[in-house]
Each structure stands twice: as C-alpha cells, then as structure tokens.
Amino acid sequence: MKQVKEANDIVAVIGGYLDLRPAGGAKFKGLCPFHDDHHPSLVVDQQWQNYKCWSCNKYGDVITFVQEFERVSFAEALELLARRAGIILEKRGNFVQEQGRAAMLEVIRWAAQQFHQCLLDSPLAEEARRYVGARGLTGETVRRYGLGYAPRSGDWLVQRAEAAGVSLELLEKVGLIAPRSDQPGYYDRFRDRVQFPIRDARGQTVGFGGRILPTSPLSSRGPKYYNSTTTPLFNKSEHLYGIDQARQAALAAGYLAIVEGYTDALMAHQLGIGQVVATMGTALNARHVQQAKRFARRVVLVFDADTGGSSGVDRALEIFAGHDVDLAIATLPQGLDPCDLLVQQGADAFRRVLESAVDALEFKLNQVLPSSGTLGLEDTRRAVDAVLGIIALAPPLPGQAGAVKAQLMVNRIAQRLALKEETVWARLRELRQRKGSADSLRQPSAPAGENETGLRSAKAAPLELELLQVLLAEPAFVDQAAATIRPEDIAHPGLRKLLNGLYDLRAAGEPPTLDQLRPRLDSVALAAKALELQETGRRHSDRTTWLRQILTRFQERRLRPVTQELQSQLNAVRDPAAELELLRRLQNRKLDLAPGPLPL
C-alpha cells in the first residue's frame, strides 16, 4: 500500500476529479464533491498528502478519496490507484476482490463489445442499422462511440455469457440481466434496442442507454428509452452522456452544452461541435452541474422550443442562483430537436443557437415580461414573485462572491421591473422565510457510513481517543496496551473496532500498523477517522510518557467503581475491625494505581 500511495500524489489524483487551485504553500483548494458545496471548502495538502473539507468535515488520504468518490471498497480503490501508477498488486486472499469494481468494469466492457459487434455484423441487427442510418449517424460515429444492438430474443446476452464463461452474477450486478421469476435462469434487460454505452469521464463504460426500435413489437410495452438500473458503477442522475469525448472540447470552448438526447450529442460531435453532452432522461440537477464544472465554468442548457416554458427553466434558475456556476439557456427553433437542426441546417445553425444563450435569470425575466407594452400593477407583482419565488428556493451563496452574485441578480430584477432594490430585497427575504430557513437547507448531513461505525452516534471519551492516537502513531506500543487494556474497556464502538483490529493483527503475527489494518475496515468514515487520529498522535513529542500516563488512567478508570464502593462502605461502617480492613483494602487500591516501570 505504501508503494501505491507514494506513486499517486494526492494533488494529481484529486485534480483529475476536481478543479484544484493553489491556496498558498503546498495547499490547494476546490469544491468539495461530498456535499453541495458553493465555494471551495476542500483543502488538499500536498506536503502531508491528505485532504479536509472545512464544511462537511470529510478527511482522509488519496485512498479514502477514491473510495468515497468512486464508491468502492478499500481494495478496489487501491487497485484503481495501482493501475494508474502501473503497479501490479499481488492478489492474496480477498485483498484484491475479483467481484469488485475492476471485475464489473471488465464484464460491462465485454457486454459493450458484444452489442457493438452485433450492430456491425449480425443479421439480427438489420433493422437497427437502418434506424441508425436514418438518424444520420455515420459508421465512424458508430465505431467511435461503440453503439450496439441488443437483440429481441430475451436471452441473447445470457447465452453468449454462458458460452464465454462470463459470470452471470456480475452481469446481474451491473444491471444487464435479471433473474426470471417463473423459472430458473436469467433474462436480458435490454431487448430490441439500439445500445448507447455510457462512459465516465475517463472513458470507462459504466452503463447503457437503450432506444427501442420504432418498428419493434415491444415498443408498446416499455419506454422509448431505457437506462441501466442504478449500480455501483452507474447512476443516471449523475452521469452525462459523451463527457469523455466532450471534456477537451469544453476546455477549449470555455463552456459545456447539455442536450436531452443521445443522438443529439452524437450528431453535434459528428459535425465538429464537441463540447456537447446529454442527460439521461432526468432533469438537470446539482450533481450534473458539479460534473460539468470540472471541465467548464459555463454551462449552456439547450431546450426545445416547445419545452422552453417548462419547469426545466425554473430548475435551471434555482441551480443558477444557488451555485457558483454560469448557467445559460439556449432555445432551438420551433419543432426541431438538436439532431434535426444539425441534419437539416448544419453545424453553423446549431452554433448560433449556442451563442445566443442567455443566463438563466435573463431567460426567466424574458419569459415573465412582455416583449412590448407595459405591465400593470398586478402583472408586475406576479412577475416579481415568479422570479424571486424560484431564487428563494436556492440556499444563498456564501462568501463575498456569493454576496456579489446576489446583489447583481437583485439589481437586474429591480431594473427590469422598475422597482427599488430595497423593495426586491425585502420581498426576497419574505419569500425565503415562507419557504423555510435557508440555513437549514445548507446544513450538511452526516456522511454515509458514519452512523454504522458509531462516529456520530456516540461521543468518544477523550481517554479512548488518546489511546488510539498513540497506538496508531506508534504501532510498537500495541503489545504494552494489549497487556493492560481489553477491547471491552473501550465504550466507543468505532474506536473499539480499531483496537480490536490492531490486536487481531498482533495475534496473527502481522505488524499492527494502520496500513495493515485498513484492508480490514469496511467503513471509509472509520478509516478516515483512523488517519486523523494517527496524525494527531504523531504530533505528540514524548509518546512513551504519554502511553504510560494513558495506561495508568485506564487502570484508574477500571478501579474507580471498586474504590468508590469501598469509600462508601468506610463512611457507613461503625465496627473498628471492619473499618481497619476497609482502610487496608483502600490502601492496596492506591498502591495498585501507583506508577511503576512499564516494559517500553
């Protein structure tokens, strides 16, 4: 593990996921991906190779970051980092799990290849090839983006997997097949559909979007588009289709355009407009924006003309008001989707649409205000509430930058509606109070997994924290601790789990270090806490004396109930002989607590 960590600089790794900016010295800052961050709260320290969010308190090293961000186990995160550094890990026991993320990525890559070859070569895909051609997609685009076809039979992929010795359990885990309810075996989830492989920003296939063929007899029995179910690899509310191909173009163009359909994005790329991605049948949300902001500060949301007045605009304005993002809206000509416009009028027409985009606030103001004439009093009041009511839903952006953006929004609304700024501010505050406290919306929830380890559900005693701090900082002290302190002496469940783990390593003849312990921890939050405890322990200059004091205090804590009971009996006794015996026993207790030599 040490070799893998040393080969993966934390700034380089996290910088591959987030936009990090220098913050003085060896520190870098960025938007925390673990909560709805509005200004850079995540600090990455290159010197100490750790990170900490000052808002949601996430803490850890390069491995815990990959675990949290990719939602994988310790072993899977270590494997991803080892592969990044070109290191081959020795597979021992369950240390590198064959059923982990790497295995899921491999089986989904195999399935994508099966669908792709079927579309290219199989007689079963003749109708699918006609559909793709009718949409104007070239063979080069089909190959570049790996489009495929899932045949109609219902067990085509299952049969191919059985013939190739591919794990059906893994295919089920990645959402491609499901168990039959009426008989043993599995069936294919995708049937008679053109398959669009969905890739993450690194180009790894993580799921599929399937478009039912218009001529299919199954078209009336299911949705037109069907996405992979939520799996450890894929969540349709987080991914953007085409991001792996669009990221470089977005950096060059300065913005990322988001459309609603797979073929819309593909046609834009085919005609040279590479900064286009697509959502997957879900409305734009904060997670999409967080993903887009990794590659461009400006996001252009493309609406069909007939959906321009939908709730999508209101949602876009809410995101615009509550996030540090330049979110603009562009509207297509009436009756055309992006693919139609690109095919019928060419790339320049679509570029003009993108260039005509205005920010979400301006777009909403244009919706509620007439293009000519003047508003009546009641119309003005309704227009103000229509805009401010959406802004009030978003938590205010913190910091000076947030204050500037809020001031600019209020100033523009006041100017467009010929109102005093004070009036607009007063109404916004009123609407926020009505919607509920904005501060409560901004409170981060406890990170996943903390309750199950007891890190939030139980308050740790300072003495127990100190014990783990010194043992994690000095593994050589574990022998002395084991001779004096039992795991059941630790009340806090998370700390008790750490101590048990160190003792188990010692009993197995392995070094009781945190590096050895981490593969045994099933909680990222507990691993991060252990790293934090270790760092605190390493700051203590005289750890030998510190341990001696800790062990003495534990002994005192263990004997305290007996001592208190003896003292109570002494206060109540009237017999001189009994009193003398109790005094003798109390004196022996004090001798037990006297500091003596420790084999350190």
Query: What average pLDDT score do residues 3-32 get?
Result: 90
Residues whose CB falls within 8 Å of the CB of residue 24, separated by 6 or more in sequence, listed in order: none
Quickly state the pLDDT bin for 321 (edges 50, 70, 90): confident
Q: What is the pLDDT of residues 99-119, one digit of tens each?
A: 467 788 899 999 999 999 999
Residue 572 carries which side chain, given as an amino acid letter? A
pLDDT in the model for residue 401: 76
Q: How confident is the model at residue 569 (pLDDT cuts 50, 70, 90)?
A: low
Average pLDDT over residues 345-353: 96
pLDDT band at 285 (very low <50, low <70, confident <90, very high): confident
Predicted local confidence at residue 91, as pLDDT? 56
* DSSP label of 282: S
Chain segment 489-533, per-residue pLDDT in tens = 888 999 999 999 999 998 888 899 998 898 888 788 899 999 999
- Give the per-residue pLDDT at 290: 75
Whole-number Å distance between alpha carbons of 265 and 273: 9
Structure confidence at residue 202 (pLDDT): 78
Sequence-ordered list of residues with C-beta below 8 angstroms from that of 274, at least 6 positions apart, any chain: 245, 246, 248, 249, 250, 253, 268
Taking Cα atoms as reference points, which of 442, 446, 469, 464 lies closest to residue 524?
446
Pairing of strands 148-150, 42-45: unpaired
d(CA 446, CA 423): 38
Note if the pTM is more than 0.95.
no
Give per-residue pLDDT as tens, 66-110: 988 877 778 878 888 888 888 877 655 443 443 467 788 899 999
First-to-last C-alpha distance (Å) of the chain = 28
Residue 457 has pLDDT above 60, yes or no: no
Judged against a pLDDT cut of 90, whether residue 319 lies above it is answered with no
- Each residue's pLDDT tens digit, 215-228: 999 988 888 999 99
The pLDDT of residue 542 is above 70: yes
Rounded Cα distance between 216 and 127, Å, is: 9
